A and B are shown apart, each in its own frame.
Chain A
Amino acid sequence: MMISPDHPSADPKPMLDSFARRHRLDPREALPWLVAIAAYFAFPDYLALQAQILATIVFALSVDLLLGYAGIVTLGHAAFFGVGAYTAGLLAANGWGEPLSGLLAGALAAGVVGFVAGAIILRTSGLTLLMQTLVVAAMLYELANKAGRITGGADGLQGMQVWPVFGTFRFDMFGKTAFLYCLAVLLICWLVVRTVVHSAFGRSLTGIRENVLRMHAIGAPVDRRKVLVYTLSAALAGVAGALIAQTTQFVGLGTLSLERSGTILIMLIIGGVGQLYGSFIGVPLYMIAQDRFASVDPVYWYFWIGLFMVVLVLFARGGVLGVVRRLRQPDGPQK
């Protein structure tokens, strides 16, 4: 008599194996988290920076979802980052400082804006789409600037009071709470992205990226899918923005700027687009390098990071992960 795998007395190992196979679990995936926890203990003076790195990884993941999986190039993702940041910030500055609900509010607001923007602009592609993403972000920037009485305008949002997480863990200057808070949120966001990417929906996104016409031909709801992924990506960016707002207790116009949109793109490209872990590599690399070099001489920073980017494009396409992959399968097939 065959015992079905669902039978409680069946050997659990095959069940675990099939679970692992379906979700493509790999022991190496635990690595980033171990590194993060090690960093917490190894560099206690740098927790504030580390927390910001973690939050920025969430942002990079949101862009990767769009760029690496759906093939949509955006130079305006800071729009959603900023919306999330200002939402969480405004709540905290006007009496409601509960962090988790602030986070959700930020995600929701950014998601709504993303949905509306996506529905309008995603019918175009190429340079026009790029321009439209840029323009959306620029419009939001101007709005935030002009609504100075509410947002603080160019001076930034002052007076944020973020309550302790779960009522006990206070956000202090040293960043302990901030780090663990960001790490937990990153874990959840990463799980979400990972599930989406490995799902049927995720695979259809790859189809849209690789060959839109064929996707249309097989009757896949391309436009709906694009708007859906755009909305999800926007919500994630909003979470990242809210994280930054809550952990620094400050929101400035820079959260909506072209520079923010550009640098997150760069960080992702450095790590490697569309490979899920590019964000985990590119963001810390860039931000730590910037922290070290910019503190010595900010002038030189721009020059050297620019040179690095040029060299990267010419000699190391696909970012760090691309190089790693080429080293491991020199003539092997692409993903």
Chain B
Amino acid sequence: MPWKLLNWKFLLSFAAFAACYPTAAGAQTVVKIGIVNSFSGFLAAPGDEMQKGMDLYAKEHMKDLPQGVTIEVIKRDDGTNPEVGKRVAQELITRDKVNILLGVMGSPIAAAIAPLTAEAKIPLVITNAAGVSIPRISPYVARVSFTQWQTAVPLGKWAAQQGWKKAVSAVSDFIPGHDAEAAFNKGYIDAGGQILSAIRFPTNNPDFAPFVQKAKDAKPDVLFIFVPGGTQATAMIKAIKDLGLREAGINVVSTQDLVPDEELPNMGDAPVGLVTAGNYSTGASRTANTVFLSAWAREYGPRSTPDFFAVGGWDGMAAVFDIIKQSKGKFTGDEAMAVLKGWKNLDSPRGPISIDPDTRDIVQNIYMRRTEMKDGKLVNTEFETIPNVKDPWKELNPPK
């Protein structure tokens, strides 16, 4: 099987040892899109989802591009490492001379790249990284994914409204985790709840049992959890099940990262009854989602499932395509940003979305979902919609 690894791409690169990338020939306008994504490291699995979403949109809508305009997509791996991410972004800008940057899974990586966009005046459309203050680092950054505050504040409020008076939070110890913790606290405490304790566990953690045990021992009414999406979610669910939190009378809530649609098949029946807040579920019945799901199944097969990472990639590519369409393939950084501010997509699989011109951050519906078993498969069913949520953190913390 290793011989398959000697594919043509590989040998070509070997031969072109220190060569530059070939430049596009012909009279076509080529828009170079630089994608910085995590293909290795602990965010590799969601990175793969995000990439699939981007690629699918591009494939489905290639025909919508203006005459004579084509795109060239250059993908670079940041290895879930901000140092590497910064370097590959720099290379995409200086070496490959991309017109626009797309992507970034991890918030620390996006934060490292943002200053480059300001120096080079190249826009970055963030398709996942959810750290709240990132768009403020550079005026050339816009986000189409979500922030933890958008999902966790309504969740905190909802939890308090259920009459669950005492809570414990357990989050991953990095920017998104801290954001989620602070956001949940805000929503929960403002609605009358009391936080008993806050646990933080290391990001690259294989075994959640000790931390869940500690949460259980504090005997709260509700446990708020945050883990980065992907396989950590499955491990956390397992710890919750193994330690019998439901039997102990503890309700578990989280953001959508705990029950990503594509991990659900691996979780058995453990997540049934979990309530999460998120911006996308495969169970949504709107038309745009049905179209999206069938395109996905056509391209990636029936056993593959999209999740919110994929939709982030999909919508990000949609934004880039709209910039290209509006500018006929030739745009400066400022012109692109002008399109992005106030950009709308009413046909997103997750419902209507737009970018706030003041904050350059996403405005979208947030859904409260319950994980249920339907026809023998787990699905996150949306039972409440909170429409057009702007990022609460920015509202509460205006720029100085």
Residues of A whose CB lies within 8 Å of any CB of B are: 43, 45-46, 48-49, 52, 145, 148, 153-156, 158, 172-175, 248-252, 254-255, 288, 292-300, 303-304
Contacts and interface: CB of A to CB of B under 8 A. Distances in A.
A195 B378 CA distance: 68
Nearest to A292: B13
A296 B19 CA distance: 13
Contact of A155 (B18, B84, B107): B107
B174 A155 contact: yes
A46 B2 CA distance: 31
Contact of A154 (B14, B20, B173): B173
Contacts of B83: 156, 248, 250-252, 254-255
A175 B108 CA distance: 23
Interface stretch (B88-96, B147-155, B327-335): B88-96
Contacts of A297: 9-10
Given A46-B18, A173-B116, A296-B13, A153 B79 contact: no
A173 B81 contact: no
Contact of A48 (B87, B108, B119, B203): B87
A103 B116 CA distance: 23
B5 to A, nearest CB: 5
18 contacts: A43-B18, A48-B87, A52-B87, A148-B173, A153-B173, A153-B174, A172-B119, A173-B90, A173-B93, A173-B120, A248-B86, A250-B83, A250-B112, A252-B108, A293-B10, A295-B13, A295-B88, A299-B39
A304 B120 CA distance: 35
A297 B81 CA distance: 16
Given A45-B95, A46-B18, A49-B91, A298 B175 contact: no
Contacts of A304: 5
Interface string B198-216: 0000110000000000000
Contact of B79 (A45, A298, A300): A298
A250 B86 contact: yes
Contacts of B391: none
A46 B87 CA distance: 11
A296 B107 contact: no
Contacts of B111: 155-156, 158
Contact of A252 (B13, B18, B77, B82): B82
B18 A288 contact: yes
Contacts of A298: 39-40, 77, 79
Nearest to A175: B94
B94 A292 contact: no
Contacts of B95: 45-46
A54 to B, nearest CB: 15
A301 to B, nearest CB: 9
A145 B39 CA distance: 24
Contact of B77 (A45, A145, A294): A294
| 8 A-B pairs closest in CB distance | A155-B108, A252-B83, A156-B82, A298-B77, A45-B95, A296-B13, A154-B174, A298-B40
Interface in B129-187: 173-175
Contacts of A248: 83, 86-87
Interface of B: 2, 5, 9-10, 13-14, 16-18, 20, 39-40, 76-77, 79, 81-84, 86-88, 90-91, 93-95, 107-108, 111-112, 115-116, 119-120, 173-175, 202-203
B18 A292 contact: yes
Contacts, number: 91
A250 B39 CA distance: 21
Given A155-B175, A292-B14, 18 more contacts: A43-B18, A45-B94, A48-B94, A145-B202, A153-B173, A172-B119, A173-B119, A250-B112, A251-B83, A252-B81, A254-B81, A254-B84, A292-B16, A296-B9, A297-B9, A300-B10, A303-B2, A303-B5
A292 B10 CA distance: 9
A207 to B, nearest CB: 40
Main secondary structure on B side of the interface with A:
helix
Nearest to B106: A155
Main secondary structure on A side of the interface with B:
helix
Contacts of B107: 155
Nearest to B20: A45
A300 B79 CA distance: 13
Given A252-B81, A298-B79, A48 B91 contact: yes
B188 to A, nearest CB: 24
Contacts of B116: 173
Contacts of A255: 83
A84 to B, nearest CB: 15
Contacts of A250: 82-83, 86, 112
Contacts of B119: 172-173
Given A248-B83, A250-B86, A156 B39 contact: no
Contacts of B20: 45
Most buried by B among A155, A172, A174: A155
B7 to A, nearest CB: 8
A172 B120 CA distance: 10
A175 B14 CA distance: 25
B90 A295 contact: no
A174 B116 CA distance: 11
A82 B398 CA distance: 36
Nearest to A85: B83
A154 B13 contact: no
A261 B17 CA distance: 26
Contacts of A172: 119
A156 B10 CA distance: 32
B93 to A, nearest CB: 7
A127 B124 CA distance: 48
Contacts of A45: 20, 94-95
A254 to B, nearest CB: 5
Nearest to A43: B18
Contacts of A249: 115
Contacts of A145: 202
A174 B94 contact: yes
B108 A156 contact: yes
A171 B236 CA distance: 44
Contacts of A158: 111-112
Nearest to A303: B5
Contacts of B174: 153-155
Given A173-B94, A173-B119, A292 B17 contact: yes
Contacts of A295: 13, 76-77, 88
A292 B16 CA distance: 9
Nearest to A160: B115
B349 to A, nearest CB: 29
Contacts of B86: 248, 250
A174 to B, nearest CB: 5
